[in-house]
Structures are given as C-alpha cells and as structure tokens.
C-alpha cells in the first residue's frame, strides 16, 4: 500500500513536469490539435455528401468517429514523450532520484489525460460549429466523454511501452502510424460497416475502435431511431466491450511498461 501511494505521489510530480513542458512549448500541442479539426472539415464537407449513414446527418455520425480516432492517435504523444526522454537521457536522471520506478509512466499517462481533455474539448467545439449536437441527457453525454478518456488512458500504456522499446521519436511516429491508421480506418469511424467487404467487416465488428465510436454515438444520441446494431456481441454491447478492452490493455501493458522501464534504466 505504501509503495502504491509513493508511486502516485512521485507520478504526480512527473505529471506536473510534463504539463509545464506543454505550457512552455505550446506549438507542439497546437499542431497536434489541428489534426482532428482537419479531419472534420475534410470528411464533413468534402466526402460527407457521398456517404450514406442510414438517415442520420453524416456530420453527427462523423464526430463520434473523429473522437475515437483522436484519442487513439493521441496516445502517440505518450510514446513520443517517453522516447524523447530516453533519447535525451532524462530517464537516466530520473533513475538517479529516490523515486518509484513506475512514477515516470504513471506521471506520463496521467498528464496525457489533460492533453486528451483539451483535444476532446476542441473537437466538441469544432463539431458544434459544423452542425453536431448532443441529443441525450447530461449524464449520458458525460458518460460518453468519460469512456473516451478511459480508452485513451488505456492506449497510452501501449504507446508508453512502445516508447521504451524504440530508439527515437521518429521511429515511434512511423511505427505507430502503421498500426493506428488501419486500426482507426478499418472501423465504423467514417463509414457504416455495411459498405465493407466481408473480411474487413468482420475485423471491424470486433475492432474496439468500432465499439468505442458506436458507444459514443449512442451516448450522444447521434444514431437514427431506426438504427439496429450489427448482430455481433461486440456492437450489441459496445460500452461493455470497450471497457473490457480498456481493462485488458491496462492489465497487460502497464506491467510490461514498468518492467521495460526497469530494464531500460539499468542499461
């Protein structure tokens, strides 16, 4: 118990350091936050008129997918930050301090919750400008935003682990793009699954990003009254499926990341 409290306390100090870094170099955050805005404008105004979404306004359908894509891509911020600290020797400095071995990762993933809150807030403001709206209650909407943050936090542990494995920021940016791009596009983020060929549709139906996007659409009321979810358990129970994935990801990658940090720190 004492060890957990120490890790949280030390992690809080590291999180504060990461947040100060964002404030001092706001250009990094600005350029990262511009990406989801670009996707909204591109898909909403360029492709939106050509995509059939079963009776619901495409821009309302789109925003949930952009939310899901943004929080997954945002996890690369965690991996890139850790890879940069490794490359610059900051991790070695942390190692010399009397602090918990897990504090760096706890602090990094915690500080990135703030980044994700800012990202989601900007996304929501952009969505309102293009015609998106929340059609459900305050509590359901709050649940939608909370689910996005929970999944984002879990995925940060994946990228934190990867950030400790790769030699530079450039490598993690390229590697994460190769994995995250198909994960977020072979899903119901931008188009309904009915348009997919069978092999891709099966993958997309069990893709946790699809469940996250559908969960957010339902919690925000951005689905047609006539909408019927595909006859697969993952999309019949999208909120539960998303939470299961988040729990499994943390259970697997948090210990792996801490172990890899200990190995990296002893080199």
pLDDT digits (tens, 9 = 90+) for 73-98: 888 878 877 877 777 777 767 666 66
Distances (CA, A) of 191 to 10, 51, 224, 238, 241: 43, 7, 14, 17, 20
Asked if residue 94 lies in contact with residue 18, where contact means CB atoms within 8 angstroms, the answer is no
In the block, tokens 């015609």 appear at: 131
User: In Å, what is the CA distance from 43 to each residue of 18, 35, 267?
Assistant: 33, 12, 46
Q: What is the pLDDT along the chain (267 residues), one digit of tens a residue?
A: 555 566 566 666 666 666 676 676 666 667 667 777 787 777 777 766 667 666 677 888 888 998 998 889 888 878 877 877 777 777 767 666 666 667 778 888 888 888 888 888 888 888 888 888 899 999 999 999 999 999 999 999 998 888 888 767 777 777 777 888 889 999 998 888 888 888 999 999 999 999 999 999 999 998 877 777 788 999 999 999 999 999 999 999 999 988 888 776 555
In angstroms, the CA 154 to CA 156 distance is 5
Q: How many domains does the chain have?
A: 1
Please tell me the predicted confidence (pLDDT) of residue 154: 94
Provide the terminal-to-terminal Cα distance of the chain, rounded to the nearest Å: 29
* Segments forming the whole domain that contains residue 151: 2-265
For the entire predicted model, the pTM comes to 0.87
Query: What confidence score (pLDDT) does residue 61 get?
Result: 85
């Amino acid at each position: 118990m004492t060890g957990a409290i120490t890790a949280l306390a030390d992690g809080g100090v590291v999180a504060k350091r990461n947040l100060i870094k964002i404030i001092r170099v706001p250009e990094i955050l600005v350029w990262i936050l511009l990406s989801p805005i670009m996707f909204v404008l591109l898909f909403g105004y360029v492709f939106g008129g050509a995509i059939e979404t079963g009776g619901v306004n495409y821009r309302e359908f789109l925003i949930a997918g952009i939310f899901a894509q943004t929080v997954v891509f945002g996890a690369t911020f965690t991996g890139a930050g850790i890879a940069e600290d490794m490359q610059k020797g900051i991790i070695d400095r942390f190692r010399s301090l009397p602090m918990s071995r897990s504090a760096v990762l706890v602090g990094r993933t915690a500080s990135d919750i703030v980044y994700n809150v800012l990202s989601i807030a900007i996304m929501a403001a952009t969505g309102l400008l293009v015609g998106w709206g929340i059609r459900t209650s305050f509590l359901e909407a709050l649940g939608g935003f909370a689910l996005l943050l929970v999944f984002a936090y879990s995925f940060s542990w994946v990228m934190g682990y990867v950030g400790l494995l790769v030699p530079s920021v450039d490598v993690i940016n390229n590697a994460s793009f190769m994995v995250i791009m198909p994960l977020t596009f072979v899903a119901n983020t931008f188009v309904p699954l009915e348009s997919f060929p069978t092999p891709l549709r099966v993958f997309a139906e069990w893709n946790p990003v699809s469940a996250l996007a559908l969960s957010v659409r339902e919690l925000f009321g951005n689905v047609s009254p006539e909408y019927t979810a595909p006859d697969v358990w993952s999309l019949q129970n999208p909120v539960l499926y998303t939470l299961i994935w988040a729990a499994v990801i943390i259970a697997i990658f948090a210990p792996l990341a801490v172990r890899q940090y200990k190995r990296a720190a002893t080199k």
